[in-house]
Structure 1
Amino acid sequence: MTDHTALITGGSKGIGADLGQRLLERGYRVISLARNVPDWSHERLEHVAVDLLDADAVAGVAADIVARHEVTHLIHNAGLIWPSLIEEAKPEDIAGLAQLHLGSALTLVQACLPAMKARQFGRVLFNGSRAALGVPTRTAYSATKAGMVGMARTWALELAPHGITVNVVAPGPILTDNFWGIIPKGSDRETELAKRIPVGRLGTVDDVTNAFLFFCDPASSFVTGQTLYVCGGASVGSMAL
């Protein structure tokens, strides 16, 4: 057992669920914030239903959680894509994903900071995306995921004196429901995309969780303000000659 409590947004499925389960194995308490109830349970898992697109709802949930728990690890994993070409993109798409990817994170970290500062320890993590470097049809998604990087770097500088690290894990492309919502599972398109990844395959949930676990570790105290791309080399780029 540890005295660590991880608050994970989007903890009911995919990367968030896998990370929650692996932290539970390490003795953490885990609080999942998601619209859907997890299809798994554990005696140290608490699920809190909330729509992170609703700023007022997030504020209310945040206040309730920190009144009952001392959160040591905040992992902002929840995300939506909302793909569209430039011609179909709308300003409200940017505003909505800004609330989900950035505004909800700000509300949650503000609620958790007093206890983290008192303890002189904390871990704040974002699930970013390789798409922050640019992907067609990702106007709102790429913009707000790129915003995570700037916000994390700023927070890292402000919180370093308090023993709190802030880092970004930037996956892509990873075999999750979000991915299959864009590219059909088992399709020729999926196969061709895998061939274009330098390592020759698409990523798995485990690949991403392993990176999060490194940043979660109390021993990883000298790494902050960083973005780690978990993308099989897709962020480096390659050209076939």
Structure 2
Amino acid sequence: MSGEIQRVYLVTGAGSGIGAAVCRRLAGSGIGLLVHTGSKREKAVAVAEECTAKGAACQVAVGDLAEAETAGMLVSDCQKHFGRLDGVIANAGFADRRTLQELDEEGLDRSIDVILRGSFRLAKAAQPLLAQSPSGRIVTVSSFVAHVFRLDGDAFTASAAAKGGLEALTRSLAAQMAPQGITVNAVVPGYVQKDAISGRSSMDDGRWKQAVARIPLGRLGRPDDIAAMIALLAGPEGSYITGQAIHVDGGLTL
């Protein structure tokens, strides 16, 4: 299989939403994809089947990125199934809307473990293989909540802390990995609507209307809007972009 593959991508949190859209964008002949999900294997399998139909070679992996061994397992899976790794899309994460007084230390730890520590472990485990690629890429997925703080009651205390740390980590990794030809960037989505397989949103209709009112372009982002930027950074066109946090948010952070 490895002789047929030109590029291999590991996409975390790929069972739905942005991660699934990234897989669809990247899929094609000569592409290997490791489609990761935290727990919902059936959704990841469905995404892998779509991408296989587009010509990609796909494998599915399940694992909680809060657990220390998961990142290494995912990188090992890429080596085992494809013999290489060219790009890591660190998308796994979740939103925690709790305020300071509502949030406990367990909740804070969970956000940091999945979003920040999970991305750190992925980058560390993946670096040796990415350094062997002619064009190694890491793209992390941050969030507007690390930049916009007056949200009418939605505080995102834990999410803001974890995503802010993720952007700082991204820049640090970009500087350290540049001599190996590896680019490292963050994409920062704004409000993104749920896709059909993501399930029910935790925001009610009223909150979604408030969100749209904050966006200069007057609409929510689609998962594919974010995936388009990620695919650019992860592909040949992103060869001279590194250490950046690129906002894809309809003008929310203007």
TM-score by length of 2: 0.85
The answer for the alignment partner of 1:168 in structure 2 is 186
Confirm or deny: 8 A CA contact 2:21 2:227 kept in the other structure: yes
Q: Give the Cα separation in 2 of the matches to 1:189 and 1:119.
A: 44
* TM-score w.r.t. length of structure 1: 0.89
Letter in 2 for 1:49: V
* Local SS of the residue matching 1:97: helix
How many aligned positions are there? 234
Given candidates 28, 31, 38, the residue that maps to 2:34 is 31
Q: 2:236 is paired with a residue of what secondary structure? A: coil
Is 2:244 the counterpart of 1:234? Answer: no
What are the residue-to-residue correspondences of 1:78-93 with 2, within 5 Å? 78-93=92-107
Q: CA–CA distance in 2 between the matches of 1:75 and 1:175? A: 20
1:13 corresponds to which residue? 16
- The CA deviation at 1:33 is 1.5
Classify 1:163/1:5 alpha carbon distance in 2 versus 1 (closer, same or farther; 3 Å): same
Paired letter, 1:36: K
Shift of 1:23: 0.8
Q: RMSD value over aligned CA atoms?
A: 2.0
8 Å Cα contact 2:116-2:165 kept in structure 1: yes
Look up the SS of the partner of 1:149 in the other structure: helix
AA matched with 2:201: G
Shift of 1:117: 1.5
Task: Decide which moves more: 97-106 or 54-63.
Answer: 54-63
CA positional deviation for 1:179: 10
Q: Where in structure 2 are the equivalents of 1:137-152 lying within 5 Å?
A: 137-152=155-170
Q: 1:125 aligns with which of 102, 115, 139?
A: 139
Going from structure 1 to structure 2, the CA distance change for 1:222 and 1:58 (only over 3 Å counts) comes to: closer
Of the three residues 145, 161, 182, the one matched with 2:202 is 182
Q: Given that residues 71 and 125 in structure 2 are in contact (C-alpha distance below 8 angstroms), is that contact kept between their aligned partners in structure 1?
A: no
Q: Any runs of at least 4 consecutive aligned residues in structure 1 with deviations exceeding 6 A, and if so which?
A: none
Matched, 1:96 2:110: yes
Which region of structure 1 is more displaced relative to structure 2, 60-69 or 76-85?
Answer: 60-69
**Structure 1 residue 11: Cα displacement:** 1.1
Equivalent residue, structure 1, for 2:60: 47
Once the two structures are superposed, the pairs formed by residues 218-233 of structure 1 within 5 Å of their partners are 218-233=236-251
- Provide the residue aligned with 2:119 in structure 1: 105
SS in 2 for 1:25: coil
Distance 1:150 1:193 in 2: 26
Distance across 2 between alignment mates of 1:225 and 1:58: 22
Match of 1:146, SS state, is: helix
Matches of 1:139 and 1:156, distance apart in 2: 26
Alpha carbons 1:120, 1:163 under 8 Å: kept: yes
Distance 1:58 1:113, change over 3 A: closer
2:216 alignment partner, SS class? coil
Quote how far apart the aligned CAs of 1:103 are: 1.3
- 1:167-203 residue CA offsets vs partner (Å, 9 max, x unmatched): 000001010268963312xx23322321221111111
Is there any run of 5+ residues in structure 2 with no aligned partner, and where? none
Deviation by residue 1:60-112 (Cα, 9 ceiling, x = unmatched): 44334334431100000111112211111112222211111121222222222
Q: Distance in 1 between matches of 2:148 and 2:206?
A: 23
Q: Which residue of 2 aligns with 1:239?
A: none
Counterpart pick for 1:155 among 160, 163, 173? 173
Could you tell me which runs of 5 or more consecutive residues in structure 1 were left unpaired when the two chains were aligned. 237-241
Amino acid at match of 1:189: R
Contact in 1 for aligned 2:115/2:166 (Cα 8 Å): yes
